[in-house]
């Protein structure tokens, strides 16, 4: 993408507001409030104040959904590439192993609650059917 200064007014008019905002933030090299940023977009496109009032909420939504931008504290916006996320990775191997052991113990306890391997009574399938009664539809009507 070209730099902001390299675009003519006609070329800028073919761009989306978020693309122009990207060029502005890239050129300014500093964060900006959304109102100032959209004012600059309107200024570059020579739009009137009515357009600003009509489209500022749409512009906010554009920046919110565009992954190139990041909202900072106090209503400032900047390019996401200028800000790195700090990721902290802690080495909790011992804690993880304790959790795994607890889960395995819980599974063993649950298994014991439902099935007794030493009890042969559970395996005798014939006794399960001794109290079964078959009802015929004709018997039911009488």
Rounded Cα–Cα distance for residues 60 and 46 (Å): 19
User: For position 88, what pLDDT does the model report?
Assistant: 60
Task: Output the average pLDDT for the chain.
Answer: 77
Place of tokens 């902001």: 4
Place of tokens 């122009």: 20
Tens of pLDDT, residues 40-85? 998 889 888 888 888 889 989 999 998 998 888 888 998 888 887 6
Rounded Cα–Cα distance for residues 107 and 60 (Å): 50
Predicted confidence (pLDDT) at residue 115 exceeds the cutoff of 60: no
Tens of pLDDT, residues 4-38? 877 888 888 888 898 989 999 988 888 999 899 99
Are 37 and 55 a contacting pair, CB within 8 Å? no
Report how many domains make up the chain: 1
Cross-strand partners of 32: 77
Is-above-0.85 flag for pTM?
no
Task: Say if 112 falls within a structural domain.
Answer: no
Rounded Cα–Cα distance for residues 70 and 74 (Å): 12
Task: Say if 118 falls within a structural domain.
Answer: no
User: For position 139, what pLDDT does the model report?
Assistant: 56
Task: Say if 132 falls within a structural domain.
Answer: no
Q: What angle do CA 100, 106, 108 make, to 5 degrees?
A: 105
User: For position 37, what pLDDT does the model report?
Assistant: 92
> Domain residues for 15?
4-82
Task: Say if 54 falls within a structural domain.
Answer: yes
CATH code, domain carrying 8: 1.10.10.1250
């Amino acid at each position: 993408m070209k730099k902001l200064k390299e675009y003519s007014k006609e070329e800028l008019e073919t761009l989306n507001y978020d693309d122009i905002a990207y060029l502005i933030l890239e050129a300014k090299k500093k964060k900006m409030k959304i109102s100032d940023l959209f004012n600059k977009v309107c200024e570059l496109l020579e739009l009137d104040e009515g357009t600003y009032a009509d489209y500022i909420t749409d512009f906010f939504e554009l920046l919110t959904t565009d992954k190139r931008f990041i909202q900072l504290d106090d209503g400032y916006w900047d390019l996401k590439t200028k800000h790195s996320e700090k990721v902290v990775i802690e080495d909790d191997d011992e804690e993880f192993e304790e959790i795994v052991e607890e889960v395995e113990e819980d599974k063993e306890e649950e298994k014991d609650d439902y099935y007794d391997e030493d009890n042969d009574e559970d395996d005798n399938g014939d006794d399960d059917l001794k109290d079964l009664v078959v009802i015929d539809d004709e018997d039911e009507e009488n």
